[in-house]
């Protein structure tokens, strides 16, 4: 399972986003679809793991009858190899509200952390009026990672409701926007942008701001100027920076190897989509700034 739910706050977290929570492995984690106890695996980023961060159900525990979370996992797996159709079933527990943890307010409840206790409240509240009446705790997720995976893997579910702070639109379809080659300057409304990464460009990880060049931009007869994402990671924790750098490097190294092999075999070239929620710079519309680790994600194209 990619996500777990903190029992005391009812917030869903992607396992890859919990590395900065205090005592993350001691929190009372539950399945996002039922009350079965789960625990995070390969989540802390301190060592190299063969598998990416995920949640496992406790031995001797079972999902409740109507949980359905395993169905979502199976469908996402299927979605990696072919398009999901409505006949494959309709997964419940789709995230419909996104919130972002403040980078500086992860504070254990006084006196609890030292005793190995649980964190009681660490996540911001949902935007006013946005909570659906039914099982709301099952629909709120931290950061854009999970909703990007859902968007990527479930093309037929794009009419489902979705609220992302700062974004215009109310469904998966309206909130995501693929960036293309444009013919002139225009301002793009607040969206989660999707765009291929120009993965053969060299990246300088030593800079206070990381520049990532994208496969779209302004094309004229004379020149091509590409969109770029500037990741401002100065306020991120050391661990957040290291994990993001490792994540990016690993994904891009694999792509470069796949690229070499594809060129040799004259096969289709691999590609990877970057998803980000960023601010378009006023002085240069081709540049977006992203300042939060929960606002950027990378997924190889199917």
User: Which positions lie near Zn ion, rule CB under 5 A?
Assistant: 31, 33-34, 36, 63, 67, 69
Question: Is the distance from CB of 187 to CB of 285 less than 8 angstroms?
Answer: yes
Nearer to Zn ion, 24 or 67 (CB): 67
Kindly report the backbone phi and psi dihedral angles of residue 245, in degrees, each rounded to the nearest multiple of 5, phi listed first: -60, -45
Nearer to Zn ion, 76 or 113 (CB): 76
Q: How far is the CB of 56 from Zn ion (least distance, A)?
A: 12
Question: Which residues are CB-contacts of 72 (< 8 A; sequence separation ≥ 6)?
Answer: 33, 91, 92, 93, 94
Kindly report the backbone phi and psi dihedral angles of residue 3, in degrees, each rounded to the nearest multiple of 5, phi listed first: -115, 150
Nearer to Zn ion, 34 or 179 (CB): 34
- Dist. CA 37–CA 18, nearest whole Å: 17
- Dist. CA 176–CA 198, nearest whole Å: 20
Q: How far is the CB of 72 from Zn ion (least distance, A)?
A: 10
Q: How far is the CB of 94 from Zn ion (least distance, A)?
A: 15
Q: How far is the CB of 33 from Zn ion (least distance, A)?
A: 4
Nearer to Zn ion, 33 or 143 (CB): 33
- Dist. CA 299–CA 76, nearest whole Å: 13
- Dist. CA 290–CA 193, nearest whole Å: 11
Which letter, b or e, does each residue of 212-231 get, where b requires 16 or more Cβ atoms within 10 Å of its Cβ?
bbbbbbbeeeeeeebbbbbb
Nearer to Zn ion, 32 or 214 (CB): 32
Structure tokens at 249: 């490097």
Q: How far is the CB of 57 from Zn ion (least distance, A)?
A: 7
| Nearest by Cα to 141 from 248, 151, 287, 278 | 151
Q: How far is the CB of 256 from Zn ion (least distance, A)?
A: 38
Nearer to Zn ion, 36 or 123 (CB): 36
């Amino acid at each position: 399972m990619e996500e777990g739910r903190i029992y005391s706050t009812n917030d869903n977290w992607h396992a890859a986003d919990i590395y900065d929570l205090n005592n993350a492995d001691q929190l009372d984690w539950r399945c996002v679809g039922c009350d079965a106890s789960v625990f995070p695996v390969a989540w802390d980023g301190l060592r190299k793991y063969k598998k990416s961060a995920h949640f496992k159900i406790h031995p001797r525990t079972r999902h409740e009858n109507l949980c359905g979370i395993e169905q979502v996992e199976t469908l996402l797996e299927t979605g990696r190899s072919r398009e999901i159709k409505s006949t494959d079933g309709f997964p419940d527990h789709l995230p419909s509200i996104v919130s972002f943890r403040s980078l500086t307010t992860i504070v254990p409840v006084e006196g609890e952390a030292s005793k190995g206790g649980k964190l009681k409240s660490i996540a911001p509240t949902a935007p006013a009026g946005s909570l659906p009446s039914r099982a709301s705790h099952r629909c709120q997720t931290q950061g854009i990672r999970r909703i990007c995976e859902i968007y990527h893997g479930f093309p037929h579910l794009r009419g489902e409701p979705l609220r992302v702070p700062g974004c215009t639109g109310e469904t998966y379809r309206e909130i995501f926007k693929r960036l293309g080659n444009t013919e002139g300057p225009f301002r793009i409304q607040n969206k989660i942008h999707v765009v291929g990464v120009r993965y053969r460009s060299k990246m300088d990880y030593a800079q206070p701001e990381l520049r990532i060049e994208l496969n779209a931009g302004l094309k004229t007869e004379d020149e091509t100027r590409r969109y770029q994402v500037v990741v401002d990671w100065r306020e991120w924790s050391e661990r957040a920076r290291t994990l993001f750098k490792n994540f990016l490097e690993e994904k891009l190294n694999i792509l470069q190897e796949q690229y070499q092999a594809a060129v040799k075999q004259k096969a289709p070239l691999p590609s990877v989509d970057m998803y980000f929620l960023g601010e378009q710079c006023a002085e240069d519309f081709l540049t977006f700034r992203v300042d939060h680790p929960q606002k950027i994600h990378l997924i190889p194209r199917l």
